[in-house]
A and B are shown apart, each in its own frame.
Chain A
Amino acid sequence: MSATTTTAPAKGRQMNIGRLLLEGRAFFALIAIIAVFSFLSPNYFTLGNFLIMSSQVAIFGILSVGMLLVILNGGIDLSVGSILALAGVCAGAMMQGIEIDALGVILYPPVWAVVVLTLCVGAAVGAVNGVLVAFFKVPPFVATLGVMYVARGVALLMTNGLTYNNLRGSEELGNTGFNWLGFYRLGGVPISVIVLAVIAIAAGLMLQRSAFGRWLYASGGNERAAELSGVPVKRVKITVYVVSGMLAAVAGLVLASQLTSAGPTAGMTYELTAIAAVVIGGAALTGGRGNVRGTMLGAFVIGFLSAGLVIIGVSSYWQTVFTGAVIVLAVLMNSLQYGGGARKG
Chain B
Amino acid sequence: MTRETTDEVVLAARNVAKSYGQVHALKGVNFDIHRGQVTTLFGENGAGKSTLMKILSGVIQPTTGQIVLDGQPVAFANANDARDRGISIIHQELSLAPNLSVRDNIFMGREIKGPTGVDFAEEERQVRALMEELEEDIHPLTPVEDLRLGQQQIVEIARALSVDSRILIMDEPTSALSASEVEVLFKVIRDLTAKGVSIVYISHHLEEALTITDHAVVLRDGNMTAYAPRAEIDLDWIVRNMVGENYDLGSPPQTMIGKVALSIRDLSVPDTTGQDLVRGMNLNVREGEIVCIYGLMGAGRTELLETVAGRLSASGGEIVLEGHEISHLSIAERIARGLALVPEDRQRDGLVQTMSVGQNLSLASIGRFTRGMFTSRRDERQLIDDSIRQVTVKTSGGHAAIGSLSGGNQQKVVIGKILATQPRVILLDEPSRGIDIGAKAEVFRLLAEGARQGLAVIYSTSEVSECLSIAHRIIVMHKGRISAEFDSSVSKEKIMAASGESVAA
> What is the interface of chain A, defined by CB distance below 8 A to chain B?
205, 209-211, 214-215, 217-218, 220-222, 224-232, 284, 287-289, 341, 344-345
Chain B min CB distance to A292 (Å): 16
Contact with A along B300-335 (1 / 0, CB 8 A): 000000000101000000000000000000111011
- What residues on B are CB-neighbors of A209 within 8 Å? 373-375
A230 adjacent to B331 (CB under 8 Å): yes
A288 touching B311, Cβ below 8 Å: no
In the assembled complex, the CB of A239 is this many whole angstroms from the nearest CB of chain B, namely 15
Question: A288 vs B401: C-alpha distance in the bound complex, in angstroms?
Answer: 14
Nearest to A232 among chain B residues (CB) is B332
B336 contacts A289, C-beta separation under 8 Å: no
Q: Does B378 contact A (CB under 8 A)?
A: no
The segment from B282-290, B364-372, B387-395 that touches chain A is: B364-372
- Are B355 and A211 in contact, CB atoms less than 8 angstroms apart? no
A205, A211, A228 interface centre (most CB from chain B within 10 Å): A228
**Is A221 a contact of B353 with CB atoms below 8 Å?**
yes
B401 touches A228 (CB 8 A): no
> When A230-B336, A231-B332, A344-B403 are in contact, do A218 and B375 touch as well, CB less than 8 Å?
no
Minimal beta-carbon separation of A59 from chain B (angstroms): 28
Whether B332 and A341, one on each chain, are in contact in the complex, defined by CB atoms closer than 8 angstroms, is no
Beta-carbon contact of A228 and B331 below 8 Å: yes
List the B side residues contacting A289 at CB < 8 Å: 354
B9 to chain A, nearest CB (A): 38
- B245 on interface, CB distance cutoff 8 Å: no
B352 and A210 form a contact (CB under 8 A): no
Whether A221 lies near B375 (C-beta < 8 A) is no
Residue ID in chain A nearest B333 by CB atoms: A230
| Total contacting residues, chain B, CB less than 8 A | 34
Cα of A341 to Cα of B330 in the assembled complex, Å = 32
A284 to B353 Cα, complex, angstroms: 13
A-B interface contact total, Cβ < 8 Å: 88
Are B355's CB and A217's CB within 8 A?
Answer: yes
Given contacts A210-B373, A228-B311, contact A218 B363 (CB under 8 A): yes
* 20 contacts across the A-B interface (CB closer than 8 A): A209-B373, A210-B373, A210-B375, A211-B366, A211-B375, A218-B352, A222-B349, A225-B343, A226-B352, A227-B311, A228-B309, A228-B349, A229-B335, A229-B363, A230-B330, A230-B331, A230-B334, A230-B340, A232-B332, A344-B403
CA A289 to CA B341, docked complex, whole Å? 26
B110 at interface (Cβ–Cβ under 8 A)?
no
The reply to whether B359 and A214 form a contact with Cβ atoms under 8 Å apart is: yes
State whether the Cβ of B440 lies closer than 8 Å to any Cβ in chain A: no
| Contact indicator A224/B348 (Cβ below 8 Å) | yes
With a cutoff of 8 Å between Cβ atoms, the chain B residues found around residue A229 in the complex are: 335, 363-364, 417
B19 is an interface residue with CB less than 8 A from chain A: no
**In the docked arrangement, what's the CA distance between A344 and B351, Å?**
13
Contacts of B351 in A (CB 8 A): 222, 225
Pair A227/B331 contact, Cβ less than 8 Å: yes
For B348, list chain A residues within 8 Å (CB): 222, 224-225
Indicate whether A345 sits within 8 Å of B366 (C-beta atoms), given known contacts A227-B311, A228-B343. no
Does B254 count as interface, using CB distance less than 8 angstroms? no
**Closest CB in chain A relative to B427 CB, distance in Å:** 11
Interface flag for B350 (CB, 8 Å) = yes
Within 8 Å CB of B366, what residues of A?
A: 211, 214-215
Q: Is the CB of A214 within 8 A of B375?
A: yes
Given contacts A229-B364, A232-B332, A288 and B354 within 8 Å (CB-CB): yes
B64 near A: Cβ within 8 Å? no
- Give CA–CA (A294, B403) in the complex, Å: 24
